[in-house]
Structure 1
């Protein structure tokens, strides 16, 4: 009888510990997604400053700046991990073109706001 109670107690303890671990892992996943969202929001908030800085130096490169703004707006309004990933990839590509634009203008490259 004591052996049976010991086995039942061990199984109950195992189930409790497993449940607690699963809950903790679920919380960590939720926190990780929240951290990603915060980083993406911060990135999205800094893009208008970068666009304004570049506008002063490269007014004739309007299409590059418009692409960055469109990509940013698409990234902000994206819902779900799949859409967010696609929108962030498009934003990264347009920002890469913007950085290349900065390299084409030495005065812009030296500007602290652009850096």
Structure 2
């Protein structure tokens, strides 16, 4: 009788431990999933703000005389695809943002040729806001991908993989771009510094140009003073 009771107690203890372990792993999966979804919503908010800033940049740039309309058209089209990708998931959003990054790189390269545009206060303000937005997106992307990595690792390991299958959890998508050339957001800091460099004055005809810290090869000779009478 005592042996039967001990066996029953052992079985009950094993069942309780198994149920407790299953519940703990399930709850951890649920918390990780919610953290991933929340971190993605933060990225999505910043992406929407970024798209609004890009739209404003395009409108300000339209006022620049003879600004290349093909460049603006590519930015507008890429922005439209990125806006349409909202809700399609991190992978699809990453591909759309990759194309938008490429269009923005061309846009800022062309903008360097328009001093009147880069001197515009609205353009400069939007440029600063873009830099801050890109920084927040980069930080959010690192946080999101770190959570996805931890979640997917547990999904692939035993025994948590059994809990993931039983709880109908699925792997999460990373938010990244495939092209290493645009993996980082466009760098706007110092993009127009060349336009603000001081211009070296052109010397009169027949005189050599003197640069700071150098001497001309044939410096002009000072005529000798006349002898005292």
What TM-score range do you get, normalising by the shorter chain?
0.7 to 0.9
Instruction: Find out whether 1:108 has 2:125 as its counterpart.
Output: no
| Contact 2:78/2:99 (8 A) holds in 1 | yes
| Contact 2:61/2:67 (8 A) holds in 1 | no
Q: State the number of aligned residues.
A: 115
1:38 match: 45
1:64 match: 71
In structure 2, distance between residues paired with 1:106 and 1:64? 17
- 1:51 aligns with one of 55, 58, 79: 58
Structure 2: 5+ residue stretches without partners: 1-5, 125-229
Structure 1: 5+ residue stretches without partners: none
In structure 2, distance between residues paired with 1:30 and 1:49? 29
How far the C-alpha of 1:60 sits from its partner, in A, is 3.7
In structure 2, distance between residues paired with 1:6 and 1:86? 51
Q: Deviations over 1:56-113 (max 9, x none)?
A: 1243411111111111111111234443222211111111111112222223223232
Instruction: Find out whether 1:95 has 2:101 as its counterpart.
Output: no
2:217 match: none
**Pair 18,94 (structure 1): closer, same or farther in 2 beyond 3 Å:** same
The alignment yields a C-alpha RMSD, in angstroms, of: 1.9
TM-score (norm 1): 0.84
Pairwise mapping of residues 78-89 of structure 1 onto structure 2 (< 5 A)? Answer: 78=85, 79-89=88-98
Question: Higher helix fraction: Structure 1 or Structure 2?
Answer: 1
Give 3-state SS (helix, strand or coil) of 1:104's partner.
coil
2:199 match: none
**Structure whose alpha-carbon radius of gyration is higher:** 2
In structure 2, distance between residues paired with 1:112 and 1:10? 66
**Pair 52,59 (structure 1): closer, same or farther in 2 beyond 3 Å:** farther
How far the C-alpha of 1:49 sits from its partner, in A, is 0.8
How far the C-alpha of 1:17 sits from its partner, in A, is 1.0
